[in-house]
């Protein structure tokens, strides 16, 4: 449990830094008692409940795994990724990717749904890949379908 506690503290601090958010602001926005997160960060709470971690993750728009997992997993995934070869159906289209993000965000806003970051990115990737394979245009109906599929799980 000590390893998870250390990772949790480190990842909360990292997420707060990325968002330029204070501990007290996170506690307030997550609906936690004052000092709950301070106690985690200063080892006064060595075994926070899963509900506390869930509320923190939800407010930071990340998954529980993002908070208790290995930060280095992303860099190891990047290091082992095969390089892309132009012309083999995997060219990058930044404009289409941005349109994919915007399309998913419109659907989430319309349906008033909040998903963890990993699920949102999965939806964006699905819409992007589908669009790359069809006409390089966003199919809004597909974006709506993919969100429905994720929400129903």
Packing angle between helix 117-134 and helix 140-152, nearest 10 degrees? 140
pLDDT of residue 89: 52
Chain-centre distance of CA 131, in angstroms? 22
Interatomic CA distance for residues 121 and 100, integer angstroms: 10
Interatomic CA distance for residues 36 and 30, integer angstroms: 10
* Nearest-5° Cα angle at 59, 28 to 31: 30
pLDDT tens for the chain, residues 1 to 153: 455 678 889 889 988 888 888 999 999 999 999 999 999 999 898 788 889 999 999 998 888 888 887 544 444 444 444 554 444 555 778 888 999 999 999 999 998 988 888 889 989 988 988 888 777 788 899 899 988 887 776
pLDDT of residue 85: 46
Interatomic CA distance for residues 50 and 135, integer angstroms: 44
CATH architecture of 2-75: Orthogonal Bundle (1.10)
pLDDT in tens, 3-31: 567 888 988 998 888 888 899 999 999 99
Instruction: Confirm if 105 and 113 have CB atoms less than 8 A apart.
Output: no
pLDDT in tens, 140-151: 998 999 888 877
Instruction: Confirm if 12 and 56 have CB atoms less than 8 A apart.
Output: yes
Chain-centre distance of CA 48, in angstroms? 21
> Among candidates 49, 3, 5, which has minimal Cα distance to 30?
49
pTM of the predicted protein model? 0.47
Residue 83 DSSP symbol: P
pLDDT of residue 80: 44
């Amino acid at each position: 449990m000590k390893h998870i506690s250390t990772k949790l503290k480190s990842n909360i601090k990292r997420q707060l830094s990325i968002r330029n958010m204070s501990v007290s602001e996170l506690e307030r926005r997550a609906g936690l008692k004052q000092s709950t997160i301070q106690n985690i960060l200063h080892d006064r709470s060595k075994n926070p409940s899963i509900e506390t971690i869930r509320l923190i993750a939800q407010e930071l728009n990340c998954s529980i795994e993002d908070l208790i997992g290995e930060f280095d997993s992303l860099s190891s995934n990047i290091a082992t990724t095969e390089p892309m070869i132009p012309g083999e159906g995997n060219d990058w289209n930044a404009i289409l990717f941005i349109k994919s993000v915007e399309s998913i965000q419109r659907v989430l806003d319309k349906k008033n749904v909040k998903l963890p970051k990993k699920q949102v990115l999965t939806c964006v990737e699905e819409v992007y890949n589908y669009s790359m394979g069809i006409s390089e245009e966003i199919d809004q109906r597909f974006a709506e379908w993919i969100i429905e599929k994720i929400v129903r799980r």
